[in-house]
């Protein structure tokens, strides 16, 4: 694989990850309400999901994904239900000051966060379509070598956490502006609405 092709893929992929959508909305909403608590596990689910879709696209398993469409529909609704659950938790969260150290996630363990965002990503076949549309501009899939596969996977492993991590960090810093119980309550409920909106977007895609 040429360096130009790899850089082209990296640039387009970063733009795709940064584009507003259910994933970005979920990361921003959760970070506004919870800060960076649990963010690595939350983002890791998106990363593993993208790697799985990339593997499907690169190894020519798109037809299998289409054959298993009912499975992906079930995963999609499970992911939307998970986002609605997070929205409910945000809406009903206690109005604690952001800087008092009590805003940790009590009910969302890292494994739950990871599996939830993994389900969201696997429920979105458009991710695989993106890879199928972009990869041929970088390399011929029928001649993709193991080295080329690893290079693209490494780009995904670096780019996605950086982009979504930047969103999470920016939202966390903005969160520091909310110090009164009323402001925290409004922030939590606004984040809950944003999360519910992302759930609807996932369910209706």
Q: What is the DSSP string of 83-131?
A: HHHHHHHHHT-----GGGS----SS--HHHHHHHHHHHHHT-THHHHHH
Domain ranges of the chain: 3-13+21-204
Give the chain's residues under pLDDT 50: 98-107
* pLDDT at residue 198, rounded to an integer: 65
* pLDDT at residue 37, rounded to an integer: 84
- Residue recorded with tokens 């041929």: 136
> Nearest CA to 46 among 71, 13, 68, 73?
13
* pLDDT at residue 122, rounded to an integer: 80
The count of other CB atoms within 10 Å of the CB of residue 104 is: 11
> Nearest CA to 88 among 189, 159, 5, 6?
189
Contact 185, 79 (CB under 8 A): no
State pLDDT tens for residues 86-117: 777 767 766 555 444 444 444 468 888 898 88
Structure pTM?
0.70
Residue 188, H or E segment: helix 181-204
* pLDDT at residue 155, rounded to an integer: 94
* pLDDT at residue 69, rounded to an integer: 60
């Amino acid at each position: 694989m040429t360096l130009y092709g790899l850089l082209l893929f990296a640039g387009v992929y970063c733009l795709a990850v940064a584009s507003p959508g259910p994933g970005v909305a979920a990361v921003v909403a959760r970070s506004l309400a919870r800060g960076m608590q649990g963010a690595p596990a939350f983002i890791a689910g998106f990363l593993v999901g993208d790697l799985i879709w990339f593997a499907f696209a690169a190894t020519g398993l798109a037809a299998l994904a289409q054959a298993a469409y009912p499975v992906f529909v079930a995963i999609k609704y499970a992911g939307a239900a998970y986002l609605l659950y997070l929205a409910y938790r945000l809406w009903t969260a206690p109005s604690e000051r952001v800087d008092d150290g009590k805003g940790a996630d009590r009910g969302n363990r890292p494994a739950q966060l990871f599996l939830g965002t993994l389900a969201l990503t696997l429920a979105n076949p458009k991710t695989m379509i993106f890879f199928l549309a972009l990869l041929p501009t970088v390399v011929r899939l029928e001649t993709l070598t193991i080295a080329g596969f690893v290079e693209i996977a490494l780009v995904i492993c670096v780019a996605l956490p950086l982009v979504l991590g930047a969103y999470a960090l920016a939202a966390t810093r903005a969160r520091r502006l909310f110090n009164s119980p009323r402001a925290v309550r409004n922030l939590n409920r606004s984040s809950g609405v944003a999360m519910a909106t992302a759930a609807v977007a996932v369910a209706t895609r």
